[in-house]
Structure formats: structure tokens, C-alpha cells
Structure 1
Amino acid sequence: MHWPDIGLLLAAGILGGLTGSIAGLASVATYPALLLAGLPPVAANVTNTVSLVFNGVGSVLGSRPELRGQAAWLLRIVPAAGLGGVAGAVLLLSTPAEGFEKVVPILLGGSAVVILLPRRAAPAHPGRRPSAGLWESAAILAICVYGGYFGAAAGVLLLALLLTTGGNTLAHANAGKNVVLGVANTAAALVFAVAAPVHWLAVIPLGAGCLLGSRLGPVVVRHAPAGPLRVLIGLAGVALAVKLGVDTYR
């Protein structure tokens, strides 16, 4: 790996960490950068997932104020997230990707529209989420399976779900999303570290960039106006859904 590739991956990691911790769109920046650096698709995918572990670390550290009050909910949902990440990693290593990829643009587009819908007033205790019900747990499990499998915009799917089910503010839902996706990515990364062609030299600059960028993302969410930021996330999700749909069905 040459110095221009290292610089490209570091910059892509910073951008991916920032967008990932804000909107769950890290892979939109990081995965193409790995392809440009010369990695084949499967190696790029698994290397990307391993690098995004650092995105989870930075985003959780930056989200600590919004995570207060969510511990009980997270303890109940983290096992589903970890199981989903492992299942997604195993699916990636054992099945073709075509069928799953055809569903992603539809799911992503629907989730982006949900984020764009008008929100009711924020609750009096926005950090306290109700206990995860069966359908919410199943939905999070399914999203984390996708996160471990490929993961592009898995955060948009999860953010839409948390905004719909918990009555959270955007900042609190985003903090919960960062923890859940961080667990799923870490679980998948452990599988890939043992059984997949991870390009470890690429992980170093990309992971370092992700750590730096993701530490800043929750600060942006905390201080930016929630309405315009939610619209920006939703529109980015719609644009990505359209692009993925065109690439998949053309």
C-alpha cells in the first residue's frame, strides 16, 4: 500500500466517521475508498467492517451525555445486536449477495421517508426508552444482520426505527444507534478477523480516520438544529436509496 492510498483512506475514514456517527452513512465514504485503493469487493467489505469498529468507539465516546438513562434498554437489546452482526458476517462468507442487495434500496428509501416525517414534541425524559418489545427486538436483529452482511446505511434504518418506537429526540436516538451498530460491527469484525481476507494495512489508516471523525459527529448532532439535520439525513438516505436502486436493478 502506497502513501497516496494511505492518505485517501485516512481522509475517507474521517469523513465516514463523521457521517456515520451522525447519520449511519459511514460506508458510503469508506467502502468506495477501499475499492479505489485496489482491494477486491469481498476484501473491501470485510476490511470496511473491521475498520468501522473504531467508528463505534469514537461515536459512543462522543454520545455519553445522551446515553444516560438508556442503560436498561441497551442491556436488553445488545445481545440481539451482537447475534445479528455474527449472523450477517456468516451470511456474507457463505451466500451470494444479489438477493439481499435487491431489498436494501426499498428498506433504505422507506426508512429515509420515516425520518423525514414530522415529529411529535420531544418527551419530558428523552433519554429513557421503554423496554424493547418483541417486534422492536426482531427489527433490530434484522438490521444488525444487514449491518454485519454489508452495512451501507444500516444506521439510517436503525435511526428511523428508534425515532419511531422510542419517542426520543434525534440526539438520543442517534446515541442508541451508535451503541447498537457498534456492537453489531464488532461482532461481525471478530468473525472476519478469523475467517475472512481482512487487509490489515488498510485498517490502520481507515480505522484511525473513523475514530477521529466519529468522535466529532455526536457533538454536531447535540448542537445542530434537530429539524434541519433530520431533513438532511433523510434526504441523504433517499439519495443513497435511489443510487443503490439504480445500481442494483439496471
Structure 2
Amino acid sequence: MTPWEAVAVFAAGIGAGTINTIVGSGTLLTFPVLLAVGLPPVTANVSNSLGLVPGSLSGAIGYRRELVGQRPRLLRLGAAALLGGLVGALLLIVLPGSAFKAAVPALIVLAVVLVILQPRLAKAVAARRRTTGHRDAGPLLMTGIFLTGIYGGYFGAAQGVLMLALMGMLLDEDLQRLNATKNVLALLVNGVAAIFFLFVAHFDWTAVLLIAAGAAIGGVIGARVGRRLPPIALRSLIVVVGLAAVIRLLID
């Protein structure tokens, strides 16, 4: 990795940590950059998963005030997220690398679509919550978090968007508190997948360290000032990077 490539990976880590803390989909910044510097898709994915853990941790810490009183919910949803993340990580290793390489363009397109639709999802969630009161974490939400965890353990781009949409529709709670919950759940998914990968997968440790350092900084930025960034600017950047990644993969 050249010095300029290292700078690009570090900068992508900062951006991913910031975006993941705000809403999710930071992988759409880091994963394409790792591909661009020459990492194979599976190596890029597992290195990205481990590298983003510090960003998830710093983002969750930054939202600690919004987590007050949510321990029972976090225990229930956290168990579903952990199990899902482990299943997703196992699938990534068990399935052949060719399957992941074939699935990645579709997964990235799905993530990009979710990012584009996020404002409409938010409006639909708000309208639903105005007319319907919802219980705390029930079987439907736990199943949804489990399935999202599988996706997150396998690839992970925009898992935060999925989690926020699910919780927003099925919980009667303030959005900032839901975002705090989302950060903890994403930390659990990324963390359990990263621990699993440590024993069975090959990492590019230079990439891991660069992303980890950048993501830790980005998590702090996202928790403190990221809410003030224009949402359309963030979504536009994510969409451009994601589409560029899809084009690159299809050309290869």
C-alpha cells in the first residue's frame, strides 16, 4: 500500500465512522476504497468489519446519554443482533469466495437504494408512529434485528438504515434514542463477526489499523457534530461511492 493509498483508507475510515454513527452505510465508503487499493473482496470485507469496530464503540459511547434506561431493550435486541452477526460471519466463511464476489454488487445496490429511500422511510415511520402506539421489543422486531444481523455479519453496508427503519416502525421511542440503540446493535454485530473472523479469516492488518484509527475519530465526530451535516450531502456521497464500487466490480 502506497502512502497515498494509506491516506485514502484512513480518510475513508473517518468518513465511515462518522456516517455509521449518524445513520449507517459507512461500509460503502471503506469497502470500495479497499477494493481500489487491491484487496480481494473477502479480505477487504473481513478487514473492514474488524477495522470499523472502534468506530462503532466510540459512536456508542458518544450516545451514552440517550442509552439511559434502555438496558432491558438492549439485552433483548442485543442477543438477536449477536446471534445474527455470528450466523452472517459463518456464512461468509462457509460459502465460496465466488459467491460473495457475485453477491456484492447486488448487496451494494440494495444498500444504495436503502440510503436513497431513507428520507421516505423516515417520513413513513413518523406517520405510523403518530397513529399507532407500539410495545417494546417483541418477536417481530427481534426477528428483524436477527435477520439484519445476518446481513451485517455477511456484508453490513446500510445495516444501520435497516435497523433504524425496523425500530422506528415497531417502537414508540425518540429517534435519537433509537439511533443510540442502533449504534450499540451495530457494535455487537460488527464485534462478534470480527472476533469470529480473527480465528478463521485472512486480514490485511495495515488496512485494519488505518480504518480502525479513522473510524474511532469518525465515531466521535458523528456523535458530537455529525447531526448538523446536511443529510443530502451525506446521502449523495454514499450513493456516488456505492455506484462507483458496483461499476468497478462489474468491470472486473
Question: Please, what TM-score do these two structures have when normalized by structure 2?
Answer: 0.82
Other structure's SS at 1:152 match? coil
Is 1:37 aligned with 2:44?
Answer: no
Give the conservation status (yes or no) of the 8 Å contact 1:21–1:217. yes
The corresponding residue for 2:158 is 153
Match in the other structure for 1:191? 196
In structure 2, distance between residues paired with 1:148 and 1:85 = 4
Identity of aligned residues (%): 33
Corresponding residue for residue 114 of structure 1: 121
Q: Contact (CA 8 Å) 2:24, 2:161: kept in 1 or not?
A: yes
Task: Return the letter of the residue paired with 1:152.
Answer: A
1:51-89 Cα offsets, whole Å, 9 max, x none, are 111111111111111111211100111111111111111
Q: For residue 220 of structure 1, what is the aligned residue in structure 2?
A: 225
With over 3 angstroms needed to count, the CA separation of the structure-2 counterparts of 1:115 and 1:243, relative to structure 1, is: farther
Tell me, yes or no, if the aligned pair for 1:30 and 1:48 is still in contact at 8 Å.
Answer: yes
Give the equivalent residue in structure 1 for 2:212. Answer: 207
Q: Equivalences for 1:155-194 in 2 at 5 Å?
A: 155-194=160-199
Counterpart for residue 126 of structure 1: none
Query: Residues 37 and 178 of structure 1: is their aligned pair in 2 closer, same or farther, counting only changes over 3 Å?
Result: same
Question: Residues 100 and 136 of structure 1: is their aligned pair in 2 closer, same or farther, counting only changes over 3 Å?
Answer: farther
RMSD: 3.2
Distance in 1 (alpha carbons) for counterparts of 2:33 and 2:206: 14
Kindly tell me: are residues 165 and 85 of structure 1, through their superposed partners in 2, closer, same or farther at Cα, counting changes over 3 Å?
same
Pair 1:120–1:179, CA change in 2 (3 A): same
Given that 1:85 and 1:149 are in contact with CA atoms closer than 8 Å, whether structure 2 keeps it comes out as yes
Q: Are 1:156 and 1:237, in contact at CA under 8 Å, matched by a contact in 2?
A: no
Cα distance in 2 for partners of 1:38, 1:101 equals: 17
2-side partners of 1:51 and 1:15: how far apart? 13
Residue in 1 that maps onto 2:86:
86
Change (3 A) 1:101 1:162: farther
Deviations 1:94-120 (A, max 9, x none): 222346864774587466332243625
TM-score, normalised by the number of residues in structure 1: 0.83
Listed as ranges, the gaps of 5+ residues in structure 1 are 124-128
Once the 2 structures are TM-superposed, how far is the Cα of residue 131 of structure 1 from its aligned partner? Answer: 3.1
The one-letter code sitting in structure 1 at the alignment partner of 2:140 is W
How many equivalent residue pairs? 240
**How far 1:139 moved relative to its partner?**
0.4
**SS of aligned partner of 1:117:** helix
The code of the aligned residue for 1:8 comes to A
Cα distance change on mapping 1:130 and 1:65 into 2, 3 Å = farther
